[in-house]
Chain A
Amino acid sequence: MTVLGYLANGLVFSSIIVLGSIGLSLVYSIADFANFAHGDTMTIGAYSALVTFGAVGGLGGAVLGLPYGFFLALIVGIAVAAVVAVATEKLIYEPLDVDSIGLLITSIGIAFIYRAVIQIRFGSDFTRFDVRPLRPIEALVPYGVRITLHDVAIFGSAVALVVGLHVLLQYTDLGRKMRAMADNPDLARVSGIRTKRVKLWTWVIGAGLAGAGGVFLGLFNQLAPRMGFNLLLVIFAAVILGGIGSVYGAMAGGFLIGMINQLTPFFSNVVEALPIRPNWLATLIENLVTIEYANAIAFVIMVVVLLVRPNGIAGEGAT
C-alpha cells in the first residue's frame, strides 16, 4: 500500500475514534469523571443496530452500498445508546454520594454490566452486519487506495455528525449552556442554567455519538462484546492528547491517534529506511514500531502527553 492508502484508512478509522472521543470528552468535562463505560456504550450502539437491521432488513434501495435499513438501524443504535446512558445516569450516577474517583470506579462496574448483558445475549463470538461486503472503489485502486463505499459512508456520516455538533455547541442555547457548564458548573448554576438538564443532554449527545461510533466500528471491523472496551484506551489516548474537556481538542486528538494507529505500518517502513546508529538502536526501534504495537504506541503517546503537556494540544480555555 502507498502512503495515500494508509492515509485513507487512517481517515476512516479516525472518524470512529473522533465519534468516541467527543462523547468521552463531553462527559469528562460536564459530569466531571473519566467514564470507563464509554467504550461499552459504543458496543451497545453496535449491537442495537445489529438487532434492528436484522429485524427490518434492507428496506428497498441503498446509498453508498448500504441499504436504507442500515441507516434506520444506525439511528436506533444512537437512540438506544443515548437512552441507556441517560437511564444509567438517572438510576446509578445521580443518586451516588461519592467523589469523581468513586464515579470512575462505579463506571467500571457499569462497563462490566453492559458487556456482560451483551455477552449473555449474543455470546462472545464475532459477528458482522448482514451487509454485502464491497470491493474497493476501482477508480482509486491505481493510487494504492483501497477503500470501499462503506468507508466513504462512515467518513461522511462522521463528518455530518461532527459538523452538527459544532453548530449545536456554537449557535444554540443548549450549546452555550453546555460550554458554560464545562467552564464553571457553579457559575453556570447561579446564572440560572438548569445544570441537571444540561447534564442529561450531555449524556444524550455523548452516548449517541458513541453509539454511532460503535455501529461504524462494527461495519469497519466486526462486532464483538469486547470491541468497545478494547477501543476505550485508544479513545482515552485521543481525549488526553486533545486536552481533557475540550471537544475540539478531542476531535483533533481523535484524528491524530486514528491516523497514527493506521499509519504504523508506514512508519515501520520509514524506520527501516532511516540510517539509525548504533545498530542495536535501529533493531530495537524496528521491532517496536510494528503493527502489533500500534495501540501501545498510542498509549505511550498518551502517557508522554500527560507528563509534558497535561492540557493537551488544544491547551487550556478551549471548549
Chain B
Amino acid sequence: MSLLDDPKAAFADLTRPEWWVLGVSVAFLLFLFVAMLTGGLSPTYFLFLVGLAGMYALLSFGLNAQWGFTGLINFSVAAFFGIGAYGTALMTASGSPIAGGFNPLVGLAVALVVAFVLALLIGIPTLRLRADYLAIASLGLAEVVRLIVLNERWLTNGSAGLRGIPGFFVGWPVLSTFPEAMPGLRLEVVPGSPVFLETPFWQASLNGLLVVAFAGGAYLVLRRAHRSPWGRVLRTIRSDEDLARALGKNTYSFKMQSFVLGSLIMALAGVFYAHLNLYVGPGDLDPITTFYAWVAVILGGSGSNRGALFGGVVIVTIREGTRFLNDVALPIDPAPLRLLLIGVVIVAVMRYRPQGVLPPQRELIWPSAVDGGGTPETPDSGVRERKGGGGDE
C-alpha cells in the first residue's frame, strides 16, 4: 500500500502468506523472463498469457464483487462473460448475422448494456433466494442463456460461432496502425537464439496494455468501493443479512447493485476476450468458465481483490501449463488433467485454507489508520458524552 513512501516498512509488514505469494510470483516471473530471453518462450505468446491472466483476473474481480463482498453465490459467470463477448462480436465482426462492422467501442457499449439487462433479468428473480438456491438457480439460468445462444441461429450464428472479429483498436487514430508501423526488432541476448519483435508482438502488446487498463480500472474502482460505506454494507450483508436489514438497509437493493457491478466487470472480460481471440462460439459459455473464476476467487481469498488477481494468474498457469506439459513431457490429454487440477485445488483450499491464500482483512484497513504510528487517535471526550446521552444501561 505504502510501498512508495516507505518500502522497507512495507516489506516488514508482510505476513507469511504474503511473503510466499510475493516470492513465488517473483520467481515465476523471473523464470518466464529467462525463458523468453533464451527463446524458449516467444514474447508474443508471453503477452498472450498476460492477456489471458488479465482476463481471468477481471472475471475474478467481478465474481469477487458478488461473492467476496456480498456473499452472492453466482454460478452464472460464464453467461455474463459470454454475453460480453457476443455483445461486442455481434456489433463488430464481419461474420455477424445482425449488424457487424461497427467500431469496437460501440461493441463495448452494447456488450455492457446487454450485460446490464441480463444482470437485472437474472438478478430480479434469484437474489431473493437463499444462498444455496441462488447457486442452483443461477447455474440453471446460465444454461438457459447458453442454450439460447446455441440455438437462435438467426441471432448468434449458432454452433458455428462468430468469426472475423477485429482487434479492439481498429479505427483508432494512431493505435490502429501501430503494430504495422513499428519496426521489426531483432534482439540477441543469448548468442545463437535471437528473439524477434515484429507486428504480432506489437499487436499483442497493445492487447496487453488494454487488459492492464481494464483490470487496473476495475481494481481501483473495486478497492475504493470495498472500503467505502457502501462496501461496508455489503460486507455486513455477507456476514449477517438479518443484521443489515435490522440496521435499516434495503439488502435486496444492495445485493442487486453488487450483482450488477460484478456482472458488468465479467462482461468487460468477455469484451476483451472477443478482441483477443478474434472468434467466439457457444463453447465459451460452458459452465467451466464459471468454475475457473470460482477457483481463482476462493484460492485468492474471498473478498480480496489482490487474491483474485493472484487466482487469475494461477488459473492461466494451470490452463496453459497442462497444454505445455502435454506437448513436452506427459502425453496426457490436457483437458481432463486441467479438470483434475482444478478439482484438487478446490478441495485442497477448502480443506487446508478455507479463507484463501490472501484473506482480505489487511486490505480493508485504510492506510492512514495504520501508518499514523501504531496507536489510533483517541478522542478527547467519550462518544457518549459528546452525544449527550449515557443513561441507557
Interface residues of A in 226-251 (CB under 8 A from B): 233, 236-237, 240
- Nearest CB of A to B140, in Å: 4
Interface of B is mostly: helix
Closest residue of chain A to B344, judged by CB?
A: A113
Tell me if A115 counts as interface (CB < 8 A to partner B): yes
Structural contact, B333 and A124, CB atoms closer than 8 A: yes
A97 contacts partner chain B, Cβ-Cβ < 8 Å: yes
Beta-carbon contact of A106 and B350 below 8 Å? yes
Instruction: Report B-chain residues with C-beta under 8 Å of the C-beta of A33.
Output: 132
CB distance from A220 to the nearest CB of B (A): 21
Using Cβ atoms and an 8 Å threshold, which residues of chain B touch A124?
Answer: 333, 335-336
**In the complex the two chains form, is A97's CB within 8 Å of B339's CB?**
no
Asked whether any CB of chain A lies closer than 8 Å to the CB of B182, the reply is no
Contacts of B139 in A (CB 8 A): 233
Q: Which residues of chain A from 72 to 110 have any CB-CB distance to chain B below 8 Å in the complex?
A: 92, 95-98, 100-102, 104-106, 108-110
**Cα–Cα distance between A96 and B354 once the two chains are bound (Å):** 9
For residue B225, which residues in chain A have a CB less than 8 angstroms away from its CB? none
**A124 shortest CB reach to chain B, Å:** 7
- Give Cα A285–Cα B33 distance, bound, in whole angstroms: 57
Residues of B within 8 A of A34 (CB): 132, 135-136
Stretch from B45-53, B123-131, B161-169, B264-272 forming part of the interface with A: B123-131
Binds B, one of A127-135, A191-199, A289-297: A289-297
Do A104 and B135 form a contact, CB below 8 Å, given A110-B343, A112-B339, A116-B336? yes
**Docked complex Cα distance between A293 and B143 (Å):** 10
Would you call A101 and B131 a contact (CB within 8 A)? yes
Interface residues of B in 318-362 (CB under 8 A from A): 332-333, 335-337, 339-340, 342-347, 350-351, 354
A302 touches B137 (CB 8 A): yes
Point out the residues of chain A lying under 8 angstroms from B351, CB to CB: 92, 95-96, 106
Contacts of B335 in A (CB 8 A): 119, 124
Task: From B137, B345, B354, give the contact of A109 (CB < 8 A).
Answer: B345
Instruction: Indicate which residue in A97, A116, A290 contacts B337 across the interface (CB closer than 8 Å).
Output: A116
Measured in the bound complex, the distance between the Cα atoms of B130 and A302 in whole Å is 14
Question: Which of A95, A101, A108, A120 contacts B340, CB < 8 Å?
Answer: A120
Q: Are A119 and B333 in contact (CB under 8 A)?
A: yes
Given contacts A33-B132, A101-B73, A105-B294, contact A110 B140 (CB under 8 A): no
On chain A, the residues within 8 Å of B150 by CB distance are 292
Q: Smallest Cβ distance from B322 to chain A, in angstroms?
A: 11
Instruction: List 10 tightest A-B contacts by C-beta distance, closest first.
Output: A109-B346, A112-B343, A299-B140, A116-B340, A119-B336, A113-B343, A116-B339, A109-B347, A116-B336, A109-B343
Binding site for B on A (CB under 8 A): 33-34, 92, 95-98, 100-102, 104-106, 108-113, 115-117, 119-120, 123-124, 225, 233, 236-237, 240, 290, 292-293, 295-296, 299-300, 302-303, 306-307, 310
Q: 7 pairs across A/B with beta carbons < 8 Å?
A: A106-B351, A109-B342, A110-B343, A112-B291, A112-B340, A112-B342, A290-B151
Q: Report which B residues bind A (CB closer than 8 A).
A: 73, 125-126, 128-133, 135-137, 139-141, 143-144, 147-148, 150-151, 291, 294, 298, 332-333, 335-337, 339-340, 342-347, 350-351, 354
